[in-house]
Amino acid sequence: MAYYFNEPSHTFNEYLLVPGYSSEECIPSAVSLETPLVRFKKGEKSSIMMKAPMVSAIMQAVSGEKLAIALAKEGGVAFIYGSQSIEDEAAMVAAVKKHKAGFVRSNSNIRPDMTLADVIALKEQTGHSTVAVTDDGTANGKLLGIVTGRDYRVSRMDPSTKVSEFMTPLDKLITAPDGTTLKEANDIIWDHKLNSLPIVDKEGRMCYFVFRKDYDEHKQNPNELLDADKRYVVGAGISTRDYAERVPALVEAGVDVLCIDSSEGFSAWQKQTLAWIREHYGDSVKVGAGNVVDREGFRFLADCGADFIKVGIGGGSICITRETKGIGRGQATALIEVCKARDEYFEETGIYIPVASDGGIVYDHHITLALAMGADFVMLGRYFARFDESPSAKVNVGGTMMKEYWGEGSNRARNWQRYDLGGAKKLTFEEGVDSFVPYAGKLADNVQITLAKVRSTMCNCGALSIPEFQQKARLTLVSSASIVEGGAHDVVLRSQAMKETWGSNR
């Protein structure tokens, strides 16, 4: 006879936090959101401590190099999607690691024999007003000069004018050698009243630009997540199929942490993958695993050597696994049980294995609930897919700007490896959908608002850190009537009233 759980499984939307005493010290600016990403021993500290409890999902529509850089600036970690060639994924990882904070690789480049018309077209394409003039028109060509808006006037110049005739030549530029620190570069910019400083190597080839306008931006990013060499921290997804070839390439590219991308982690395939990594790299390569939804699944992956464990099956906004296969569990219930198992494992072994809540996040306050229930951080897909930095296209749907968003189990992604059960190398049926999400602008603007809400709620509960929050949090189940009561009700919203009035006066 099948085993039946006594309690129904619950979602985040069925819980509320009950406020606790807030002292004078409980102000949002005093709250620390630092949290461990990978396992550590009692009395020690995790080798990767995030400054924001957020990582991006391993998805084609979410985690590319641009989002990885943007998220690292806010203190989180992106996991580059693995449903692409080994070479392409490794190249994305390498691009993030090579991106120096403040040192911008020029993507607006032109040859001296090209024309003003070409400069204008390039500006329209990239949006950048500073153009490097190199011998071959590439980002790493020999620097011959630069062109800025001060070098030409469209209304008074022939579009066929050669770039060499109006560019600022190299002998009139101030440059700095490769190896110059960001502080030194900014000092040169301020001392010489420059808007940009080209960085060149010993052969005079273009390496980077440092811009005056970026100075304030970097001052505004105190939570940047950097490795020991001051490079952005980045993760990458792997499957249980080609790990023997993919892992070495990603390690060579400089990846900081890996994660097995699988819809269900309680399997022999994940055990084999973890065993291979430990055999060939020991503990030097950090790798997360999952997904699981109960105590047994957690213990299995913990004993296999996972550095963090993801919780959640079927709760993603584009996931239809529960509909197609009838497996899964309410995200809140799954998370509570797994986090309890994590704490028991820590007491028994002295090893703390961070838990990621993956799926089921609809509103910002669900992130706070997940942390209160024991999650060390959350993995988000839909949330990040909405931003400028995600890899998907921005489209106009019925007059509203949207971003494309599709699941890894959809026909569009066809990531059969994620749902692999050792059979044929194909996606037999879909476990994800192809969709749109409302466009939301820049990642930084949205993440900062979301984390402000998290900090404010933690203060309401009298906590100044995530561990303290988990100790002090008090949660209550709510009825369907309570959920309705929690929103605006029994009033006519001003926006709706104005809309109806405007419509009747047309």
Percent of the chain past pLDDT 70, that is, above it, reads 89
Q: How confident is the model at residue 270 (pLDDT cuts 50, 70, 90)?
A: very high
Place of tokens 């994305």: 92
Whether 342 is a known active-site residue: answer no
The pLDDT of residue 418 = 53
pLDDT tens digits, one per residue of 401-431: 999 887 666 555 555 455 556 655 555 555 6
pLDDT tens digits, one per residue of 11-25: 999 999 999 999 999
Distances (CA, A) of 4 to 9, 12, 337, 339: 12, 22, 16, 21
Strand 235-238, strand 77-80: pairing: parallel
Mean pLDDT on 84-89: 95
Strand 143-147, strand 168-169: pairing: antiparallel
Q: How confident is the model at residue 324 (pLDDT cuts 50, 70, 90)?
A: confident
Whether 299 is a known active-site residue: answer no
Mean pLDDT on 205-229: 83
Question: Which tokens sit at 489?
Answer: 């009700």
Distance CA 91, CA 114 (A): 30
Decide if 109 contacts 138 (C-beta within 8 A).
yes
SS3 335: helix
Question: Which tokens sit at 310?
Answer: 């993801």
**163 pLDDT above the threshold of 80:** yes
Of 151, 164, 157, nearest to 112 (Cα)?
Answer: 164
Mean pLDDT on 301-307: 98
Query: Which residues is 477 bridged to in the sheet?
Result: 15
The pLDDT of residue 410 = 57
Catalytic residue, from 418, 455, 459, 461: name it: 418
The pLDDT mean for the chain works out to 90
Distance CA 228, CA 223 (A): 15
**133 pLDDT above the threshold of 70:** yes
Query: Which residues is 36 bridged to in the sheet?
Result: 49
**127 pLDDT above the threshold of 90:** no
Distance CA 172, CA 168 (A): 7
What is the DSSP code (8-state) at residue 289? E
Question: Which tokens sit at 276?
Answer: 């291979």
Write down the H helix ranges in 254-363: 268-281, 295-304, 321-325, 331-349
**38 pLDDT above the threshold of 90:** yes
CA angle, 98 then 50 then 271, to 5°? 90
Decide if 144 contacts 114 (C-beta within 8 A).
no
Of 58, 15, 136, 22, nearest to 418 (Cα)?
Answer: 58
Distance CA 35, CA 19 (A): 22
**171 pLDDT above the threshold of 60:** yes
Percent of the chain past pLDDT 90, that is, above it, reads 70
CA 144 distance to own-chain centroid? 37
Distances (CA, A) of 275 to 86, 278, 437, 454: 21, 5, 38, 37
**506 pLDDT above the threshold of 70:** no
**85 pLDDT above the threshold of 90:** yes
* CB-count exposure of residue 495 (10 Å: 0-12, 13-18, 19+): exposed
User: How many CB atoms are closer than 10 A to CB 250?
Assistant: 26
SS (H, E, C) 84-121: CCHHHHHHHHHHHHHCECCCECCCCEECCCCEHHHHHH
Between these two residues, 113 and 503, which has the higher pLDDT value? 113
Q: How confident is the model at residue 203 (pLDDT cuts 50, 70, 90)?
A: very high
Which sign, positive or negative, has the C-alpha torsion 303, 45, 292, 348?
Answer: positive
**230 pLDDT above the threshold of 90:** no
The pLDDT of residue 427 = 52
The pLDDT of residue 430 = 53
The pLDDT of residue 416 = 44
User: How many CB atoms are closer than 10 A to CB 114?
Assistant: 17
**384 pLDDT above the threshold of 80:** yes
Distance CA 87, CA 95 (A): 12
Catalytic residue, from 26, 319, 339, 461: name it: 319
The pLDDT of residue 442 = 95
Which sign, positive or negative, has the C-alpha torsion 105, 106, 107, 111?
Answer: negative
CA 213 distance to own-chain centroid? 24
**218 pLDDT above the threshold of 80:** no
Distance CA 323, CA 433 (A): 12
The pair phi, psi for residue 251, each rounded to 5°, is -65, -40
Between these two residues, 301 and 360, which has the higher pLDDT value? 301
